[in-house]
Structure 1
Amino acid sequence: MTDRSATAVVLGGSVAGMLAARALASLGVRVTLVERDVLPAGPEPRRCLPQARHVHQLWSGGARAMEELLPGVTARLREAGAHRLPITTDMVGLSPRGWYRRWPESHFMLLCSRDLLDATVRELVLADGRIELAERTEVLGLEGTATAVTGVRLRGPDDTRRTLGAGLVVDATGRASRTPRWLTELGLPGPKSREVDSGVAYASRVYRAPEAARDGFPVVNIQPEPRTDGPGVGGVLLPIEDGRWLVTLFGTRGAEPSADPAGFDAYARGLRHPVLADLIDRAEPLTDVAFTRTTANRRHFYEQSPAWPENFVVLGDALAAFNPIYGHGMSVAARAAVALRDTVEGHGWGTAGLSRRLQKAVARPARAAWDLAVGVDVFYPGATESGPTRAERLVAAYVDRLTYTATGNGRVARALTDVMSLEKGAQVLLTPSMLLAAAVGPLKPALSGPPLTGDEMKRAGLQ
């Protein structure tokens, strides 16, 4: 950056907004971060973030991007108790096609409560003197024309109104984003959009792990079978900080989990395998059951819009919101923030057509996660009006075959985690060697039960 007078406004104090602000500030841009609420001072719940009570993970592709933007963030999280779990070494997972083996590490996940992750990111970002936080401030709309956005109209906590000019406005306001309406107010067409809603509901509870299992335990994941005629049900156990387990149960239309503690336990017992129920039977519940239905996949294809104003970009859940069970939201946000930084740095602040380049750049990581989520959720009854397309059926059949192969082929399992962790694109699954491996199938016989070690079962109280 050579223009030290460059200014930006980032709308939304979410992880996506924080990382976007940091990405721009690292280039010398002065950033105003606008947030309608008061952000917590530490690792405490944020308002209007229902998914925060449910399972979250930061895949290695997102963790590396976040570390690039905020050097030292991984160490800070680890010091606060976050777990770094190797994939698939510390995963006990029942796929739609059988139990996964625990292969040597290919990638990793960072696991902690959402409150801890948010607070850690927030503290590091707001320590940057080039970023100013405007809390209790509502965004009323965009200022500008169909050609270029010049700023935003704001209402402060004392009901005063002002227009804040900026060389770039970033919408990171999440699922409630009003960009479609703002565009029409500027005289632009609304975006092409798609929603895939499996109808899944989530019920989550935090437990104190058995004492011997508090220093480390694998992820336990019982996946549903999405391509059956009935609803899908599943559950996930994630070890988080302070010796706790975060357990989320989920089910699609007609098989929703219960928000009642007794119903929660019964639902866990009714999954495809009882291992998760057996584990929580031996743990101490610390919270009530949190419940939410805010889980639809929703995508705005802004990068395909025939006309796009200068000085404006949309990212995070405002661009693409995913079913939280796949854990891609924060990783996509981190990778989008890196793409934002790199594109500005590569093309220069204020250059003609920069906003369209930015919108295409931030859409790439969103596209990968969208394809992964929709490729499963579109098969649940009622997810879309017309059901899966022929292309989606063909892709799903191939991925299903790869999933089956991965239960007994470590090389295929690694390729799948390459894509799931957002480290590589889906093209790695289409190489001649992958096609051949899929045709051959698993090289080892199917496992008869969950691949917990004897030591893990003993520490969890299962033997």
Structure 2
Amino acid sequence: MLSLSAVLIALPASYGLILLAWHILRHLLLVKHIGTQNLRLLQATRSRHDKIPGTAVVCGGGIAGLLTARVCHAHFKRVLLVEAEAWLSTEDARRVDGWKHLRTPRARLMQWNSLHSSQAFLFAGLENLFPNIEQECERSKIKVLPARPRFSISGAIWRPPPKNGLYKTMYTARHSLETFIRSALSRLLVHIDAWHDRRLVLDHDAYPDIEFAAGTVIDVLPDEADPSRLGKAVIRLDTGMVQEVPAALIADCTGPARAGAKWLARHRYGGALDSLKLCFDQKLRYSSMSFTASPEFMDRLEAVLPPDMRGDGPIITFMEDLTEESKVNGRGYFIIWRKDGNQIMTFAGHTGEVRFQPSNVEGLREYMRSMYQAVPIPDWLWRVLDLLEEIEDTALVSLLKVPATSYLQYYKARNLPSNFVALGDSVMTINPIFGEGCTKALRCAMALHTELLRAQRHPGGSLPPTFAQEFFAEERDKTEWLWDNTRVLDYGVPTTEPIPGESLSSGAGLRWYITWLQRLAPYDDHAGRVMYDTVTGFSSPIDALHPNLVAKVLWRGLVTG
């Protein structure tokens, strides 16, 4: 038998080995799935002499398309960004006061006028893609501040890290963010060293690497000399003219329309791509209200808020605790954030059809009262709603029923053309509640950048025949865990329609653990840090499973309740 002294020696040694293994695994997962160490690589670019001959055709100009064009600019001699809406190719789409596009119609973008949040990870990527970004944000009246989203679980606010441990982020509306990135991309492509006005629009004579075209890519054509790659993109311009553009790379950034899959099927590439699509529907419904305030009103609003909230972006980010009642009613979310250009945005969201979608301030009050509160909503928050009611006539209301989320698993496809890629929502859509859409788009762009850097080893200045296969494998590594994580949480909602063949009971144990971790986060620094890193985009897939934290969560969930 082991003596007591042997046990006392063995236990700390065993724990030390477990802790060491956790740290090693975490480092490996950060490299493989998060790419934090690769952020600085986004600054890398080929010399003009070494750039790949030909044109990279980027189909679609949302966030994913703009980031893809920026990455392609570092590697190809010419980039053509094709945008379906003609006004997106004009100077108006790159204006400094992007918040004024609040009421500008954007036919192909569901969230244009809805609350939109981006994680701090996106800002870290933009810092490496575009120079002087903080100065440009200041000119655009976009707040760049330490990220402090003020998440709460039914009113109990998660403990934030110390102030010196907060990541920087930008607080901007969706229409402002896209306008800002498009403007930054255009300015970058004017000869950077000759900047005298950082709001210069594209000057093709000075720096002819990129062009914006108003139109739609309607097809692709195989390379006549080498059918294993695509040779041309077929574009219908907004004038009605159809052009065939020789292409060194074709990137599908058409979003949920996933036009690229249709082009490939037409020419018998990729096999049965429809069989590689996963889809489930969490029945998400939400209401956004965008208020436009005067500087005087903002001063009055700031005076109502607690001192530590003044001058910040978020006011409240309320997530209802997962109880039996909230499951039946549809777990509720309530948010009020200050955005750029004196915009204040509210959000009320839930799953299912039991709750209503507010369309005025009184509706917001009623919605807040309907949610389970472990910690009562403070009086000052009701005064914030009273103030917003005074400017209710400025509000733009957006009521959305979010389509089912889906994932086209290109990495499983066979016989893909070697110079075809797809990024962002063209591959995967996820629950927008988690604010990870732009982070996902950035990680797709980072995967493309990584593979284009690796392709420099290929002789002849062209893409290797395995490029698409290797890209989709890298993209999977950087994004699939987002799909898996959000699916686990969405399956905790009884209204969710799961992937055919799966059950909502899948992941129940992990959901139980996450629920108790969220309940612990207002009272424990370690749990608060993990939740903070998760909602800002920097957490590894196993941060929540640190041995110390596992013990605390199990103790709280099983013993103390």
Instruction: Please indicate the TM-score interval, normalised by the length of the shorter structure.
Output: 0.7 to 0.9
C-alpha deviations, 1:175-232, integer Å up to 9, x for none? Answer: 1222332232121221512223211112111233652445335441111345634122
1:252 aligns with 2:351: yes
* Matching of residue 371 in structure 1 with residue 452 in structure 2: no
* 2:218 alignment partner, one of 127, 140, 163: 140
Change (3 A) 1:4 1:304: closer
Is the 1:226–1:376 Cα contact (8 Å) retained in structure 2? no
Counterpart in the other structure of 1:460: none
Greater mean alpha carbon deviation, residues 342-351 or residues 7-16: 342-351
The one-letter code matched in structure 2 to 1:158 is: T
Q: Does 1:100 align with 2:158?
A: yes
- In structure 2, the partner of 1:384 is 497
C-alpha distance in 2, partners of 1:149/1:240? Answer: 43
Q: CA deviation at 1:31?
A: 0.6
Question: Is there any run of 5+ residues in structure 2 with no aligned partner, and where?
Answer: 1-45, 190-206, 303-310, 457-461
Residue in structure 1 matching 2:83, options 11, 14, 35: 35
State whether residues 66 and 182 of structure 2, in contact with CA within 8 Å, keep that contact through their aligned partners in structure 1.
yes
SS of 1:52 mapped into structure 2: coil
The equivalent of 1:190 in structure 2 is 273
Instruction: Report the TM-score when normalising by structure 1.
Output: 0.87
Q: Do the aligned partners of 1:106 and 1:414 also contact (CA within 8 Å) in 2?
A: no
Tell me which residue corresponds to 1:299: 407
Give the residue type in structure 2 aligned to 1:196: F
Which range moved further: 407-416 or 70-79? Answer: 70-79
- The structure with the largest alpha-carbon Rg is 2
**CA deviation string 1:52-72 (max 9, x = no partner):** 222222212111112211122
Structure 2 CA distance for partners of 1:382 and 1:319, relative to 1, 3 Å: same
Q: Equivalent residue for 1:456? A: none
Instruction: Tell me if the contact between 1:201 and 1:250 (Cα under 8 Å) persists in the aligned partners.
Output: yes
1:35-434 → structure 2 map (5 Å cutoff) = 35-38=83-86, 39=88, 40-41=92-93, 42=95, 43=98, 44=101, 45=104, 46-87=106-147, 90-95=148-153, 98-104=156-162, 105-127=165-187, 128=189, 129=207, 130-135=209-214, 137-144=215-222, 147-187=228-268, 188-191=271-274, 192-207=276-291, 208=293, 210-214=298-302, 215-216=311-312, 218-226=314-322, 228=324, 229-230=327-328, 231-258=330-357, 260-261=359-360, 262-273=362-373, 274-275=377-378, 277-283=382-388, 284-285=391-392, 286-348=394-456, 349-385=462-498, 388=503, 391-434=506-549
Contact 2:119 2:169 in 1 (8 A): yes
Q: Deviations over 1:254-281 (max 9, x none)?
A: 2343353243443244333445555222
Change in Cα spacing, 1:227 to 1:20, as seen in structure 2 (3 Å) is farther
Give 3-state SS (helix, strand or coil) of 2:288's partner. strand
Q: Which amino acid aligns with 1:319?
A: V
Structure-1 separation of matches of 2:477 and 2:152: 30
Structure 2 counterparts to residues 447-462 of structure 1, below 5 A = none
| Residue 60 (structure 2) aligned to one of 2, 5, 12 | 12
Length, aligned pairs only: 441
SS of aligned partner of 2:542: helix
Percent same amino acid at aligned positions?
Answer: 20
Q: Give yes or no for contact 1:200–1:256 (8 Å, CA) kept in 2.
A: no
Task: Please state how far the C-alpha of 1:248 moved relative to its aligned partner.
Answer: 0.9
Structure 1 residues 372 and 246: alpha-carbon distance in aligned structure 2, compared to 1, 3 A threshold? farther
Pair 329,217 (structure 1): closer, same or farther in 2 beyond 3 Å: closer
Shift of 1:161: 1.5
Contact 1:151–1:165, Cα closer than 8 Å, also in 2: yes
Matched letter for residue 203 of structure 1: S
Single out whichever of 316-325 and 263-272 deviates more from structure 2: 263-272
Q: Measure the CA separation in 1 of the matches of 2:122 and 2:149.
A: 19
Distance in 1 (alpha carbons) for counterparts of 2:432 and 2:336: 14
Q: Secondary structure at the match of 2:264?
A: helix
Distance 1:391 1:267, change over 3 A: closer
Q: Distance in 2 between matches of 1:234 and 1:389?
A: 21
Alpha-carbon deviation of 1:412?
2.2
Gaps of at least 5 residues in structure 1 are: 447-463
Does the C-alpha gap of structure 1 residues 102 and 124 become closer, same or farther in structure 2, counting only changes over 3 Å? closer
**Structure 1 residue 24: deviation in Å?**
1.0
Q: Is the 8 Å Cα contact of residues 73 and 120 (structure 1) preserved in structure 2?
A: no
Cα drift, residue 295 of structure 1: 4.7
SS in structure 2 at match of 1:267: helix
CA deviation profile, 1:79-130 (whole Å, cap 9, x unmatched): 422223434xx44332269432344244343211122211111012123131
Q: Deviations over 1:359-417 (max 9, x none)?
A: 22233332233233222222223322466455522221222232222221112221233
Question: Counterparts of 1:387 and 1:227 in 2: how far apart (Å)?
Answer: 23
Match of 1:305, as an amino acid?
A: A
Pick closer, same or farther for the CA change 1:294–1:150 going to 2, 3 Å: farther
CA RMSD of aligned residues (A): 2.7
Taking the aligned partners of 2:149 and 2:281, their CA distance within structure 1 comes to 27
Assess if the C-alpha contact under 8 Å between 1:235 and 1:271 holds in 2: no
Q: 1:152 to 1:28 in 2, by over 3 A?
A: closer
Distance 1:289 1:97 in 2: 25
Contact 1:11 1:171 in 2 (8 A): yes
Asked if 1 retains the 8 angstrom alpha-carbon contact of 2:520 and 2:553, the reply is yes
CA distance in 2, matches of 1:66, 1:365: 17
- Alpha carbons 1:63, 1:331 under 8 Å: kept: no
Asked whether the 8 Å contact 2:301–2:384 carries over to 1, the reply is: no
Q: CA deviation at 1:296?
A: 3.2
